[in-house]
Structure 1
Amino acid sequence: MAVNTTPEAPLPVGQVSRLIGGWIDRLGAIWVEGQITQLSRRPGAGVVFMTLRDPSHDISVKVTCYRQVFDAVADIVGEGARVLVHAKPEWYAPRGELSLRAAEIRPVGMGELLARLEQLKKSLAAEGLFAADRKKPLPFLPQLVGLVCGRASAAERDVLENARRRWPAVRFEVRNVAVQGVHAVPQVVRAVRELDAMEEVDVIVVARGGGSVEDLLPFSDEELVRTVAGCRTPVVSAIGHEPDTPLLDYVADLRASTPTDAAKKVVPDVGEEAERVRQLRDRARRCVDALVAREERGLQNALARPVMQDP
C-alpha cells in the first residue's frame, strides 16, 4: 500500500524504517541460493553469522542462524560453499539493515549444479546463442588483442609469450580479473564489455588455466554467456584444458583447448608465413620458367620447319 506524503507532511526516518520492516515481514520464509563469503563462529556463541553472496552479481546479504542449525552442516559447508538457505527476511529498524534468519541450510551438491548447467545450456541453445551462423571470423593479423585473465597467471604468460613468439609485433590490452570465486563473474563481464567497446581491439581472448568443475563455474554463468553473445568483437574462449567445456566455449566465436592453443589460433606464425611466401614465390618462378621454356620450344620448332614454296 502506498503511503501519502508531502513536503509539508514528510515521514520521520523511524516510521519509514518501521514501514519497511512491516513490508518485509509479510514476505514470509523463503528459499535463497548463494555463496558463503564470510563466516563467523565465535567460540561459545549461540549464533553464527555469515554473508551470502550472489555469485553472478555484486550483491550480498547478511545471514544469522542458531549454532545448532549451522552445526548440522558444519563438516561440509564453509566459506566459498554454495548453499540453499531457508530463511525469514528480517529488518532491523534502528540501523535500517536487512538480514536473513536461517532455519535450515543445505549444501548445493555438484550433481545439482551440473543438472542446472545442463538445463541452462539447453535453454540458451534453444535461443540460438550457440548457432554456427552467429560465429564471427577472426582477423588474419590482429593489430590489438584484448586479453582477460588472472593477474600474473600461467594463462596470461602462455598467451603473451606464445603469441609474441609467433608474431613479435602483436600488441595486447590486458584486463586482470578474478577467475574463480564470487568476484569472478562481475569482473570478467566488466572486462569483456570494456574491451568490446574499444574500436582498436580486433579480438578478445578470455583465458584461464585448469581447475575443478566448481572453479570453472563462473565461465558458465548466464550473464557472461549473454555478454559474449552480444559482443561486436570476435571472442575466443580458452578455459581450462581440452576436456573442460564451460558454456563460454559454446557461445564464443572460437574455442581454444588451452591458453597456448588460443595464442596459436589468434596470431599467425611469422616464420611459417615467411616460408609460405617463399614457397609461393618459388612456385610462381617455376611456372614462369616453364612458360618461357614452352614458348622458346615453340619458337624453335617454328623456325626449324621448312618454309613451303609456291609452285
Structure 2
Amino acid sequence: MTGPDTAARDGSSAETPWPVRTVARKIADWIHRLGTVWVEGQVTQLTARPGTQTAFLTLRDPAADVSMSVTCPMGLMRSIEPPLREGASVVVHAKPTFYFGRGALSLRADEIRAVGVGELLARIERLRRLLAAEGMFAPERKRKIPFLPKGIGLITGRASAAERDVLVNARARWPSANFRVLNTAVQGVQAVPEIVRALTTLDRDPAIEVIVIARGGGSVEDLLPFSDETLCREVAAVRTPVVSAIGHEPDTPLLDHVADLRCSTPTDAGKRIVPDVKEEATRVRQMRDRGRRALHGWVDTQRRLLDQLRSRPVLADPLGPIDRRADEVMVQKERGRREILAHLTREQTALTAARARLTALGPAATLDRGYAVVQFSDPEGNLHVLRSVSEVNDGSVVRIRVADGAVSATVRTPGEED
C-alpha cells in the first residue's frame, strides 16, 4: 500500500508533488521497457483512411468486456489477405506503447495474422469437449418445451429473414401465438453481450415460457458468437427452456448442444414451438368421434344386458312370484288358524274334564251330599278343622259348615243314655 513515506522515498509528497508530465514520463519509461507480446482478440473498430500512414483498430476479448487500441503501419494492413473486417479474429504481435501527450496506452503491431477457419473449428471442438465433460449437453438436463406456451421470447437480428421465418411459420400454425421480440446483433463483437442481456430479460419475464434464439445461415466466423462459452453457460443457467435455431441444417454451433431443443432452421423452430391449429382441431374431432363411438358401444352393451335381465322370468312377470307366495301365505295362515283352534278345543276339553274332576273331588260336592265340616277355635281365636273329640271340651263353641251355610253349636258330652 502506498503511503506518505513511500511517496517521500520516490521523491514526491503532498508538499512536493510531481507534475503530470513527470508521472506520464515515468509511466512511459516503465511501459517502454516491456517486451513484445502475442495478443488474440476480435476486431471491433477498424480505421484505415487513404493517405495516412497509420491504421487504427480496436481489439476486444470475446469472453470479457475488455478492449485495447492497436496501431499498425498502413502497409501492414494492406498486406493482409483476405482484408481484415470487423468481427474477424486475429493474432497480433505488438509492443505496448504509452502516448505521452494523451496519456493513453495502446499496442503498436508489427504483425497481424487472421485466425483461420481450421483454428476456429479446433477451438470450438476443445470448448465442446470441455462443456460436454461438465454435463451441459446431458439429455437429462434438457427441459421440456411447453405444448402451447402462453408467451414466446424471440432473440434475433432486426428485420432479419430469421425473425420473419419464425413469426410467419408459428402464426400460420397457431394464429394467436404471443411473441416478445428482442432484436440484437447476431454477429460481430457485440453479439454475445447483447444476446446475453436479451436472454436475461426474457428469462425474468413471467409471461415467457420458451425462448427462441434464431439466426440465418453464414460462415463459421459469422456463427462464432453462438459457440461462445459465455453464451453457452448463460443458456444453461436460465430457468426458461431455450430453443436454438441457428443457420442451416449443416450448421451446428455449440448453442445447439446446450439448448433444450435444437431446430435445424428458423423455419423449423416456428413449426416446433407451437402446435398446428388444424392438426389439433382434427385430433379433437377424432377424439370426439372416438369418444362418441365408445359411449354408443357402452350404451348398446348395457342396453343388451338390461334386455337380458328383463327377459328373465323373475323380471318378465315380477307379480307372479308375489301372487304365488301370497297363496302360500294364505294356505299357511289357514292351516295355522285351524291348528290353533284345534289346540284351543283340546285344551278347553281338558280344562272342562279337569274342572269336573275337581268339582267331584272338591269339598263342596261332599257337602252337597250331606256332609258337614266342624271347626273349633284355639285359644288364640284361630279356626281349625275338628278331627277328634279330644280336641274340644264340654261347652266349647264349634262352627259347623254345611252346603248352604254355617251354624254355631255348643259341645255337650253325651251321657250314658245318649
**Are 2:154 and 1:147 aligned?**
yes
Q: What corresponds to 1:193 in structure 2?
A: 200
* 2-structure distance, mates of 1:82, 1:49: 16
Change (3 A) 1:304 1:50: same
- Paired residue secondary structure (1:152): coil
Contact kept, 8 Å, 2:48 with 2:54, in 1: the verdict is no
* 2-structure distance, mates of 1:24, 1:196: 45
Contact kept, 8 Å, 2:151 with 2:210, in 1: the verdict is yes
Contact kept, 8 Å, 2:215 with 2:266, in 1: the verdict is yes
Contact kept, 8 Å, 1:208 with 1:259, in 2: the verdict is yes
- Paired residue secondary structure (1:277): helix
Contact kept, 8 Å, 1:39 with 1:51, in 2: the verdict is no
Q: What corresponds to 1:4 in structure 2?
A: 3
Q: What corresponds to 1:303 in structure 2?
A: 310
**Are 2:190 and 1:183 aligned?**
yes
- Paired residue secondary structure (1:111): helix
Which deviates further from its counterpart, 11-20 or 134-143?
11-20
Contact kept, 8 Å, 1:25 with 1:89, in 2: the verdict is yes
User: Could you tell me how far 1:94 is from its partner in structure 2?
Assistant: 2.3
User: Could you tell me how far 1:304 is from its partner in structure 2?
Assistant: 3.1
* 2-structure distance, mates of 1:282, 1:109: 61
**Are 2:119 and 1:112 aligned?**
yes
Q: What corresponds to 2:46 in structure 1?
A: 38
Q: Which of residues 70, 74, 82 in structure 2 aligns to 1:76?
A: 82
Q: What corresponds to 1:224 in structure 2?
A: 231
Task: Work out the number of aligned pairs and report it.
Answer: 307
Residues 21-58 of structure 1, C-alpha deviations (whole Å, 9 max, x = no match): 35544542111112333031533x54333332334455
Unaligned runs of 5+ in 1: none
Residues 224-253 of structure 1, C-alpha deviations (whole Å, 9 max, x = no match): 111111111111100011111000001111
- Paired residue secondary structure (2:196): helix
Contact kept, 8 Å, 2:170 with 2:271, in 1: the verdict is yes
Change (3 A) 1:95 1:290: same
Q: What corresponds to 2:382 in structure 1?
A: none
* Map 1:158-307 → 2, pairs under 5 A: 158-306=165-313
- Paired residue secondary structure (1:113): helix
Change (3 A) 1:148 1:19: farther
* 1-structure distance, mates of 2:124, 2:33: 33
* 2-structure distance, mates of 1:100, 1:181: 22
Contact kept, 8 Å, 2:38 with 2:94, in 1: the verdict is yes
* 1-structure distance, mates of 2:175, 2:243: 20
Contact kept, 8 Å, 1:83 with 1:108, in 2: the verdict is yes
* 1-structure distance, mates of 2:104, 2:63: 22
Which deviates further from its counterpart, 249-258 or 262-271?
262-271
**Are 2:73 and 1:66 aligned?**
yes
Change (3 A) 1:227 1:22: farther
Q: Which has the higher contact order (CA 8 A, sep 6+)?
A: 1
TM-score, normalising length: structure 1: 0.89
TM-score, normalising length: structure 2: 0.68
Residues 144-195 of structure 1, C-alpha deviations (whole Å, 9 max, x = no match): 1111001111111111111122222221111111111222112111111111
Which deviates further from its counterpart, 164-173 or 283-292?
164-173
* 1-structure distance, mates of 2:235, 2:279: 31
Q: What corresponds to 1:17 in structure 2?
A: 24
Which of 1 and 2 has greater Rg? 2
Contact kept, 8 Å, 1:39 with 1:78, in 2: the verdict is no
Structural RMSD (CA): 2.4
Contact kept, 8 Å, 2:48 with 2:74, in 1: the verdict is no
